[in-house]
Structure 1
Amino acid sequence: MSFRTAQIRLVSSHPEVYEPCDDSFALVDALLADRNHLLEHHPTLCMEVGCGSGYIITSLALMLGQDSPGVQYFATDINPDAVRVTSETLEAHGVHAELINTDIASGLEKRLAGLVDVMVVNPPYVPTPEDEVGREGIASAWAGGENGRCVIDKILPIADNLLSEKGWLYMVTLTANNPSEICIQMREKGYASRIVVQRSTEEESLHVIKFWRDFDTQADAKETTKTNKPVPARLMESLVSQFPLSSFWRSSGSNSN
C-alpha cells in the first residue's frame, strides 16, 4: 500500500474506544517528521502502549512499510474492545501487529526486555481524580490521576526496561503533566530528550517528546547519583527552554499558538 498513515475512514470504531483526535494526530505527525531518522534507525521491533483505535501503530507500520522490511509490531491495551478495534484497523490497511490485552506491558517484561527499538505512547494524561484511573472502557484512555501523571509515571520505568540500547520512546504529554520534570526523570535514567511536535488546541497544549539513550547523559546521570548532586542548573535551563510557553499556558489558560 502507498499510504503513509492510516486513513481515518478505514479506522474501526467502538463506543468504548477512544477515537483518533488531536493528540493522536500530533503523535503521528511527530513520527512523520522523524520518518527519515526512523528508517536510518533500522528498527526490528516497534511497540505501541495503549493502542486504542489502532490509528497510531497502523500509521507507523505504513510509514515504515517496504522501506523497512522485517519489522515486528506489538501493541497493548487494557481495554479488550480497543484490542479488537485495533485488529480491525490493522486488517483494513493490510498490515499486522501482535496484539495483547494487558495493562501497559504486564506479562511482556521478560519476553521483550531490551528488544524494543521504537515505542510510541499516547498515555492517559488528563488530570482526574485518582479513583478514575484504570476504569473499564473508554475512561481508561484519558484518566491520568493527579496532574495526569499516574499512568505516565508507571510507563516510564517499564519503557526503560523494554527499550533496546538504541531504543527510542515517543510520548504525548500535556502541559499540566509538567513535561520538563518528566525529561529530568528520564535523564536520571540516562536518556536525552527533545520535543518533536508542540501543538496548542482549543482544549489543551500538547508536546510529543522523543527520548533516547545517550552516553553523555548516562555519564552525567551516574555522576549526579554518585555525588547526590542536584540536576545541574545548565541542564535545568536547557530542559525548561524546550517548553517556553508552559508557564504562560498554566497562568492564563490561553490556547495561543
Structure 2
Amino acid sequence: MWLLRPPGVYAPQSDTGTLVDELLREPSLPGARVLDVGTGSGAVALAAARAGAADVTAVDISSRAVLAARLNAVLRRARVRVLRGDLALPVGHRRFEIIVSNPPYVPSPSDRLPHRGPARSWAAGRTGRLLVDRLCAEAPPLLAPGGVLLMVHSGLCGTEKTVAQLEEAGLEAEVTARRTIPYGPVMRRLAPWLEAGGLVEPGQEHEELVVVRAVRSR
C-alpha cells in the first residue's frame, strides 16, 4: 500500500507487515474499536479500517506522523481518528477491543529518547525497552474484557520480559509470530555498538521480530 510519508516519519517495513498480518487474523476485528499506538504513516490503522473495524483511533507523538496519517486516511476515504500525544495518553480512559503497536524498540547508545529527527521512530534506550515497558504497563487498562493487545518488537529487547510484564498486568500473553530478517540500515550502523555490548553475536547480520499477543480475559 503506497502511503504519503514526509521525512522523519517511519516507513512501513517488515515489522509493520508482520503486525498487520497478525491483526488481520483476529476474529474480533470486524466491528471492533481499535487503537493504534505509534501509528507513523498510519499503515496499521488503515489496515484495521479496511478490514471492517467499527472505530479506529491512531496516536503518534510526532506532528509529522499525525499529518501523514491524517492525509493517508483522507486519500483512502478511511474513517480513522488521528491524535497527537505520548503513547495512549490522548485517548484518556476509553476502552478498545484491539490495541496494536509498533513502538520504537531498537537498542541505542543513549537512554535519552530523541525529540526530533528520524531516530525518534526507532531509538528506545540501551535496552530497547523504554517504550515497550511503558506499553506493557499502560495498554492493559485500556482493553475491554476479552480485548487483545498486539505488539511487535525485536527479540533483542527481550521477548520473555514482554510476556512476563503483560502477564503480571493480568493478561494472558504469548508470542504468536516470529520472523527473521536481515539487518536494515539502522541495525547495520549500530552493529559495532551492539556487538561491543554483547547484545548480538560478532558478525551477526539478522534479527528476529516477534509479535506478542496478550488477552484481557476479564
TM category (shorter chain) comes to 0.7 to 0.9
Root-mean-square deviation (Å):
1.6
TM-score relative to the length of structure 1: 0.71
Instruction: Give the match for residue 98 of structure 2.
Output: 118
Matched, 1:23 2:6: no
Aligned-partner Cα distance in 2 for 1:154–1:25: 23
Instruction: Give the match for residue 143 of structure 1.
Output: 123
Amino acid at match of 2:88: A
TM-score relative to the length of structure 2: 0.83
Residue of structure 1 aligned with 2:62, choices 68, 72, 79:
79
1:113-192 equivalences in 2 (<5 Å): 115-192=95-172
Deviation at 1:131, TM superposition (A): 4.2
1:141/1:103 CA distance change after superposition, 3 Å: same
Cα shift readout 1:55-105 (whole Å, capped 9, x = no counterpart): 111011112x2xx5xx11111101000001001111222112111110102
Instruction: Give the match for residue 233 of structure 1.
Output: none
Instruction: Give the match for residue 45 of structure 2.
Output: 57
Paired residues of 1:79 and 1:137 also in contact (CA < 8 A): no
Matched, 1:205 2:188: no
Amino acid at match of 1:79: S
Instruction: Give the match for residue 99 of structure 1.
Output: 82
Aligned-partner Cα distance in 2 for 1:130–1:109: 30
Paired residues of 2:48 and 2:56 also in contact (CA < 8 A): no
Looking at secondary structure, tell me which structure has more helix per residue. Answer: 1
Paired residues of 1:171 and 1:209 also in contact (CA < 8 A): yes
Aligned-partner Cα distance in 1 for 2:74–2:18: 23
Paired residues of 1:109 and 1:161 also in contact (CA < 8 A): no
Instruction: Give the match for residue 5 of structure 2.
Output: 13
Unaligned runs of 5+ in 2: 184-206
Cα shift readout 1:14-41 (whole Å, capped 9, x = no counterpart): 1110111111111111122x143534xx
% same residue: 29
Structure of larger gyration radius: 1
Unaligned runs of 5+ in 1: 1-6, 216-257
